[in-house]
Chain A
Amino acid sequence: MNSKLQTSWLIENGRIICPASGIDRVGRLLLRQGLIEAIDPSDDQVPSDVHRIDASGQIVAPGLVDLGTEIGEPGREEDETIETATMAALAGGFTTIACAPNTDPPIDTAQAVEFVRQKAARADRCRVSVIGCVSKGREGQELAEIGSLVDAGAVALSDYPGPINNAALMRRALEYCLMFDRYILDRPEVPSLTRHGIMHEGMMQLILALAPMPAEAEDLATSRNLRLLETTGGKLHLSCVSTAGSVDLIRRAKERGITVSVGTRIANLCFDDESMRSFDANLKVNPPLRSREHIEACRAALADGTIDVLTSGHQPRALEKKMQELSAVPFGMSTLDTAVAQVVTYLIRPGHLSWQRALEAFSTKPAHVLGVEAGSLKVGRPADVILIDPEKQWTVCNDDFYSRSRNNPLVGQTLYGRVQTVFVGGQRKFVRDY
């Protein structure tokens, strides 16, 4: 056995928050042989050679789990590689990422799944789960060989970042996946309503005259997906929900007893459509940054659990791709490096979200969708643990990105909250010494 695995750690004086078991108290957390050994262990439980960490003032939480992270490799290494993505994830507090299948070629074969898993193992940073394609070539026509993908280790299926536009394919996919007990992730959008679109349709769009992406394009697809799910009884995760209309439909569906998982992207909770006035290419994301009422609806839905999951929405884009006119700029924001600080600064500090709920949405719930053993500090679980300094103030600067791409509108801004230490499987994989 790896000697590092034998190292045991005692994290003392931190505020331990475990959404899976409802714990929120200052205490001691013992990690041993790669697992969570005990919370508040007795002195005889603590091995004599234990490494002690003083976590005063810090939050001790389960490692974050990201649902749908773009890794660039293979095919878009100018944006990101598995090496840089997993490093950025680690430094951002993510101990597990589920890589999105929009590589080039896309992850629609067992070999593609194997490639990512091997590269991730070689990088040896955070854990990497693989999301396979729903359709061959991610083209939305025919089902990909989902059985083979699952056999090779795919934990979920998606045509991310695009929506599954074909309703018949969506229905078939939901039914087919029943055999494999895997989630399908779909970002709801009716593309005919958003074609060439750049920003949310509303007052600011009327003024700036950028091509519109109306909210109903999402609402209609959300409605379709919920209705199909009701028929098939499959497992569906609606990713990147961003409208008040979607939230309303989902809330009513959940009240009717439909089981559906729902996610939203941090960017959509932090920035509104007014920010497009800067014409900053780094703000061009899909779903687009919505107006205030949508943001408020999504924040409330995240707080009350209607929205289950928070995702980084990490979409790295090389500088040259973003240094263009907005119509030519690809959608995306590089967010692994700033995700936690965004949640602290924009959601927790202003009182929109509790730590307990934030960590549930950022670890426990996405782990459940992926079916992986993560997102919990329960005894016997893998010791994927992070320490966050919630009060730490820092200014985002180009040099601190571990991601290969810095397409992030927060560069130059001062944020609160920073991940300081990260354990994956009981190994201390990252320490921020600044």
Chain B
Amino acid sequence: MTAHASVLLPTYPDNWKRRHLLDLESLSAEEIVTILDTAESLYAAYTAAGQKLSLLNGRTIANLFYENSTRTRNSFSLAAKRLGADTVEFASSSSSVSKGETYIDTAKTIEAMGVDAVVTRHATPGTSHLLAQHLNCSVLNAGDGPHEHPTQGLLDILTIRQHRPNFKDLTVALVGDIAHSRTARSNIWGLKKLGAHVIVCGPATLVSRKWESLGVEVAHNLDKILHRCDVLNLLRIQFERQDTRPFPSVREYALLYAMNSERMKNSKPNILIMAPGPINRGVEITPEVADGPHSVILEQVTNGIAIRMAVLWLLLGQSKKTTPAIRQSEGVRA
């Protein structure tokens, strides 16, 4: 019946029990590895088939985004479509949000239309947890303010694993605005669980010393740690999430933290350069580094599709389809 009957589909992992993906903090190392393995096998099946898979045929996935996003939203949509699911888009500017409807009511309304999962992004931490409490369908956190962005963390970790499979010997530095970065938090939890050494590096106003008590190294001088780093993940400066500017100027930030060819010379010869994007060329990374041989930025984007396919399938693959019933009118003559 299926066009890709000859393609070897991965078997659904029997250790997967979750209905929601809200954060990486609460995931075990085993669960993280399950997602990474599933991403690779599922993506391989998809490329082998040469067309979309039918694993989530008949399922509907809603994107409910309250913050601007192009890559994450499209990445989730594509991942859903490649599994055979339908997608529906709700953006805060075009929906009832502008008519004063609350976040929960909007989400419940979408759920009542018969969706199986809501992928959500919001500027406030805890919003996806809030939806998970109020909805019966699966909830995927696509970024809750500066708190977590689990699929970003997973795709970063998958990209690292493809180049450096042994996390125990690895030093990964997250550089930039740690305080306001959901990518940083998801990376920290995921990488620590897999045994990597994590350094957070950036201006003292954006990198708290308190991270040390969670077993994370704190640095403010990039040049002093560069020679020890196997991976640099260059985080975007979140201009939109700050009340008072935590550093004097973009120029000074670039001077202290931008990854440029000069700094590349002082790095390990096989260093991996990552960035969750969208990148600010000239701020955290110069074009020659972003487009250079050490950069895996575009691989991250492709891995994003694989991770999101894996997560959607894991959350929905074994669940029952949730279609709200409608009441049948009684006593109506034809």
Do residues B102 and A326 form an inter-chain contact, with CB atoms below 8 A? no
- Report the Cα distance A207→B186, complex, angstroms: 10
Asked whether A39 is an interface residue with its Cβ less than 8 Å from the other chain, the reply is: no
Asked whether A324 is an interface residue with its Cβ less than 8 Å from the other chain, the reply is: yes
Q: Which residues of chain B come closer than 8 Å to A196, judged between CB atoms?
A: 243
Given A325-B122, A326-B125, A327-B123; A209-B145 close (CB under 8 Å) = yes
- Report the Cα distance A206→B124, complex, angstroms: 14
Q: Which residues of chain B come closer than 8 Å to A209, judged between CB atoms?
A: 125, 145-148, 179-180, 182, 185
Stretch at the interface among B39-47, B81-89, B207-215: B207-215
Do residues A206 and B211 form an inter-chain contact, with CB atoms below 8 A? yes
- Report the Cα distance A230→B208, complex, angstroms: 37
Asked whether B104 is an interface residue with its Cβ less than 8 Å from the other chain, the reply is: yes
Do residues B122 and A206 form an inter-chain contact, with CB atoms below 8 A? no
- Report the Cα distance A210→B145, complex, angstroms: 8
Q: Which of A177-204 contact B (CB under 8 A)?
A: 195-196, 202-203
Do residues A325 and B127 form an inter-chain contact, with CB atoms below 8 A? yes
Q: Interface readout for B117-135 with A: 1 if CB under 8 Å, 0 if not?
A: 0000011111101100000
Instruction: Say whether chain A's binding surface is mostly helix, strand, loop, or mixed.
Output: loop
Q: Which of A193-227 contact B (CB under 8 A)?
A: 195-196, 202-203, 206-210
Distance between A231 CB and nearest chain B CB, rounded to angstroms: 32
- Report the Cα distance A207→B213, complex, angstroms: 12
Do residues B125 and A203 form an inter-chain contact, with CB atoms below 8 A? no
- Report the Cα distance A203→B210, complex, angstroms: 7
Q: Interface readout for B86-124 with A: 1 if CB under 8 Å, 0 if not?
A: 000000000000000011100000000000000000111
Asked whether A121 is an interface residue with its Cβ less than 8 Å from the other chain, the reply is: no
Given A196-B243, A323-B102; A208-B126 close (CB under 8 Å) = yes
- Report the Cα distance A206→B218, complex, angstroms: 14
Q: Interface readout for A276-290 with B: 1 if CB under 8 Å, 0 if not?
A: 000100000000000
Distance between A61 CB and nearest chain B CB, rounded to angstroms: 39
Q: Which residues of chain A come closer than 8 Å to B103, judged between CB atoms?
A: 324-325
Q: Which single member of A207, A279, A324 contacts B25 (CB below 8 Å)?
A: A207
Do residues B25 and A326 form an inter-chain contact, with CB atoms below 8 A? no
Interface size of B by CB at 8 A reads 26
- Closest partner residue, chain A, to B211 (CB atom): A206
- Report the Cα distance A206→B211, complex, angstroms: 8
Given A203-B213, A209-B146, A279-B130; A326-B243 close (CB under 8 Å) = no
- Report the Cα distance A210→B147, complex, angstroms: 7
Asked whether A320 is an interface residue with its Cβ less than 8 Å from the other chain, the reply is: yes
Q: Which of A82-101 contact B (CB under 8 A)?
A: none
Q: Which single member of B102, B122, B124, B146 contacts A320 (CB below 8 Å)?
A: B102
Q: Interface readout for B203-242 with A: 1 if CB under 8 Å, 0 if not?
A: 0000010110110000000000000000000000000000
- Report the Cα distance A208→B189, complex, angstroms: 12
Given A279-B129, A279-B130; A207-B185 close (CB under 8 Å) = yes
Distance between B151 CB and nearest chain A CB, rounded to angstroms: 17
Q: Which residues of chain A come closer than 8 Å to B146, judged between CB atoms?
A: 209
- Closest partner residue, chain B, to A196 (CB atom): B243
Q: Which single member of B104, B214, B243 contacts A324 (CB below 8 Å)?
A: B104
Q: Which residues of chain B come closer than 8 Å to A320, judged between CB atoms?
A: 102
Q: Which residues of chain B come closer than 8 Å to A327, judged between CB atoms?
A: 123-124, 145
Q: Which residues of chain B come closer than 8 Å to A326, judged between CB atoms?
A: 124-127
Q: Which of B118-164 contact A (CB under 8 A)?
A: 122-127, 129-130, 145-148
Q: Which residues of chain A come closer than 8 Å to B104, judged between CB atoms?
A: 323-324
- Report the Cα distance A196→B148, complex, angstroms: 19
Q: Which residues of chain B come closer than 8 Å to A203, judged between CB atoms?
A: 210, 213-214
Q: Which residues of chain A come closer than 8 Å to B125, judged between CB atoms?
A: 208-210, 279, 326
- Report the Cα distance A323→B105, complex, angstroms: 9
Q: Which residues of chain A come closer than 8 Å to B208, judged between CB atoms?
A: 206
Q: Which of A222-271 contact B (CB under 8 A)?
A: none
- Report the Cα distance A208→B25, complex, angstroms: 10
- Report the Cα distance A327→B122, complex, angstroms: 11
- Report the Cα distance A38→B213, complex, angstroms: 60
Do residues A208 and B147 form an inter-chain contact, with CB atoms below 8 A? yes
Distance between B13 CB and nearest chain A CB, rounded to angstroms: 28
Q: Interface readout for A308-341 with B: 1 if CB under 8 Å, 0 if not?
A: 0000000000001001111110000000000000
Q: Which single member of A206, A210, A323 contacts B210 (CB below 8 Å)?
A: A206
Q: Which residues of chain B come closer than 8 Å to A324, judged between CB atoms?
A: 102-104
- Report the Cα distance A328→B122, complex, angstroms: 12
- Closest partner residue, chain B, to A320 (CB atom): B102
Distance between B179 CB and nearest chain A CB, rounded to angstroms: 8
- Closest partner residue, chain B, to A321 (CB atom): B102
- 20 A-B pairs with C-beta separation under 8 A: A195-B243, A203-B213, A203-B214, A207-B214, A208-B125, A208-B147, A209-B146, A209-B182, A210-B125, A279-B125, A279-B130, A323-B102, A324-B103, A324-B104, A325-B127, A325-B130, A326-B124, A327-B123, A327-B124, A327-B145
Q: Which residues of A contact B (CB under 8 A)?
A: 195-196, 202-203, 206-210, 279, 320, 323-328
Q: Which residues of B contact A (CB under 8 A)?
A: 25, 102-104, 122-127, 129-130, 145-148, 179-180, 182, 185, 208, 210-211, 213-214, 243
Known: A203-B213, A209-B180, A323-B104. 17 other contacts (CB 8 A): A202-B210, A206-B210, A209-B125, A209-B147, A209-B179, A209-B185, A210-B145, A279-B129, A279-B130, A324-B103, A325-B103, A325-B122, A325-B126, A326-B124, A326-B125, A327-B124, A328-B124
Closest 8 pairs between A and B when the two form their complex, measured CB to CB? A279-B126, A209-B146, A325-B124, A327-B124, A209-B147, A325-B127, A279-B129, A210-B125
